[in-house]
């Protein structure tokens, strides 16, 4: 029995690989003519007489990832059909055929029945091909004055606008969980750290709110970003503008954009909004990562401040006693992934000539991945925070007298001693306790007076962690009043009533 030969991999004269289904054309280096592939019906196919190398066809296609823009593409096309009719380029009947036909295409996507076919190199080609099958040649009028350059830029903005709305809601939920816990557990004290070394007493609520404020900045950045996302490139054509009397202001209004982009050259090539979205995602994940790192440390046996719920932990395949904070570790790890998406796109953009270049096809996968990561990460963070258990006794045991050394210095300040002098005296007190092997609170008044004569009997009043925290009463501090003020501010920002 004779079998057909397997494809033979050869090297063309210029070093390119080819096989026995393609012949290297003598018409010029790098031009291929296929024996088995005919020219596909493409939006740009009229210029070409030869078939595309199948490998190039696959390399060029974006349908595998930009198919998720299907709804944005259909909504943009429906609005454009109405704009064409308003400009007299379509009859009302033709516009209605196109709009209703696109609604049938959308129904197929929703039902999971849309069939991707050979030649559907991107979502625009796929939708227009299917529309033509459904309503006939009138579908060919839809692309009048429009290019995939302005089409894809519009689709991406429409898609991102909706995704960022979801992300903002998720961020607000995470902030709300933090504020709710801060209000409920406002009296719980814990050590505060600098350089990961015990520093001063603070409130657990103060720590919670420190991350909530960072997330609020992320939300504010997101709101500002949305203004620049919400501009419409449609009507810019390939680069030089639309030759027909399209009312772009009306078209922008139809699609819910605040305004059309002001310059057609910039409009088709601008991906600042993608880079900004990736920066926002990177900063948000950076803040989540730092928060997760704190909780990973606090949940370790050595600290034992918190215990993660089983729903956000996993075990070891070897060591049965283990309870690993995998939810937090994944959040920390995914921050690097999102940063990589941002840095990769910036390198793609940095050397591009104006206006549209196919390099810009590389904007979607990093953006999709980053937004998907955030969409998964934010609810996980909120769930882990809402369900963890605080171990009050362990936090209390971690408070040590040396954390009151600053209070000792501040005691002398209140006696009129310059701070530089009081800092030296407090440091000497710590050194003295270390040499004697006793805690700071056991230094006698006589011993303290050898360090500075301003110490008096009332110095014993400073040996209180609660008092130390309450002394920090300036705005933004860790006193109960200052923390409650932060809670009220964030509740006001969230649009929630402050507790009575």
Number of H helices, E strands in the chain: 18, 10
> Angle formed by the axes of helices 204-229 and 480-494, to 10°?
30
Is-contact 321 367, C-beta < 8 A? no
User: 196 by DSSP, 3-state: which?
Assistant: coil
Give CA–CA dist 478/486, Å, rounded.
10
Alpha-carbon distances, residue 241 vs 95, 267, 367, 413 (angstroms): 22, 10, 27, 70
Q: What are phi and psi of 192, to 5 degrees?
A: -100, 150
Give CA–CA dist 367/465, Å, rounded.
47
Question: For the chain, how far is it from start to end, CA to CA, in angstroms?
Answer: 89
Question: Which positions ≥6 away from 75 have C-beta within 8 Å?
Answer: 158, 255
Question: Cα 194 to chain center, whole Å?
Answer: 28
> Angle formed by the axes of helices 148-184 and 70-86, to 10°?
130
Residue with tokens 């054309």: 25
E strand or H helix that includes residue 161: helix 148-184
Instruction: Show the tokens assigned to 106.
Output: 């959308």
- Candidates 268, 205, 269; CA nearest to 242 is 268
Strand duo 231-232 + 259-260: pairing: parallel
193 - beta bridge partners?
Answer: 198
Give CA–CA dist 209/188, Å, rounded.
13
What residues are labeled active site?
Answer: 195, 316
- Candidates 418, 396, 414, 394; CA nearest to 462 is 414
Give CA–CA dist 11/192, Å, rounded.
65
Residue with tokens 């050397």: 351
Alpha-carbon distances, residue 425 vs 120, 410, 443, 452, 457 (angstroms): 78, 11, 13, 7, 17
């Amino acid at each position: 029995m004779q079998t057909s030969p397997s494809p033979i991999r050869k090297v063309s004269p210029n070093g390119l690989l080819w096989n026995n289904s393609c012949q290297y054309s003598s018409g010029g280096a790098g031009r291929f003519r296929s024996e088995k592939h005919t020219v596909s019906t493409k939006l740009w196919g009229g210029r070409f007489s030869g078939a595309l190398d199948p490998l190039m066809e696959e390399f060029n296609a974006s349908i595998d990832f930009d198919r998720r823009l299907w709804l944005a593409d259909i909504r943009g096309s429906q609005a454009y059909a109405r704009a064409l009719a308003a400009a007299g380029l379509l009859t009302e009947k033709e516009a209605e055929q196109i709009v209703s036909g696109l609604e049938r295409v959308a129904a197929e996507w929703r039902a999971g029945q849309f069939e991707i076919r050979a030649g559907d190199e991107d979502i625009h080609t796929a939708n227009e091909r299917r529309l033509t099958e459904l309503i006939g040649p009138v579908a060919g009028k839809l692309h009048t004055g429009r290019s995939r350059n302005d089409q894809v830029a519009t689709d991406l903005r429409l898609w991102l606008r909706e995704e960022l709305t979801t992300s903002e809601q998720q961020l607000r939920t995470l902030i709300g969980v933090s504020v709710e816990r801060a209000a409920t557990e406002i009296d719980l004290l814990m050590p505060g750290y600098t350089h990961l070394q015990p520093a001063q007493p603070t409130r657990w609520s103060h720590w919670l709110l420190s991350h909530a404020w960072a997330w609020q900045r992320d939300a504010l950045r997101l709101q500002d970003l949305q203004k620049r996302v919400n501009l419409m490139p449609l009507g810019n054509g390939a680069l030089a503008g639309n030759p027909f009397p399209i009312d772009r202001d009306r078209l922008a209004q139809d699609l819910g954009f605040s305004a059309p982009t002001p310059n057609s050259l910039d409009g088709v090539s601008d991906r600042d909004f993608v880079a900004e979205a990736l920066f926002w995602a990177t900063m948000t994940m950076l803040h989540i990562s730092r928060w997760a790192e704190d909780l990973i440390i606090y949940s370790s046996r050595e600290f034992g401040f918190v215990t993660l719920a089983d729903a956000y932990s996993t075990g070891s395949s070897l060591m049965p006693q283990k309870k690993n904070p995998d939810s937090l570790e994944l959040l920390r790890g995914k921050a690097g992934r999102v940063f990589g998406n941002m840095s990769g796109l910036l390198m793609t953009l940095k050397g591009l000539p104006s206006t549209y270049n196919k390099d810009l096809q590389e904007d979607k996968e990093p953006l999709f991945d980053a937004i998907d990561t955030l969409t998964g990460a934010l609810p996980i963070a909120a769930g882990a925070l809402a369900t963890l258990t605080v171990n009050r006794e362990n936090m209390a045991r971690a408070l040590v007298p040396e954390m009151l050394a600053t209070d000792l210095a501040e005691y002398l300040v209140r006696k009129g001693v310059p701070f530089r002098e009081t800092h030296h005296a407090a440091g000497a007190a710590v050194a003295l306790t270390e040499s004697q092997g006793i805690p700071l609170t056991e230094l006698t008044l006589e011993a303290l007076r050898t360090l500075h004569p301003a110490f008096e009997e009332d110095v014993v009043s400073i040996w209180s962690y609660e008092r130390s925290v309450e002394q920090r009463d300036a705005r933004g501090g860790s006193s109960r009043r200052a923390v409650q003020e932060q809670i009220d501010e964030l509740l006001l920002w969230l649009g929630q009533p402050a507790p009575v």
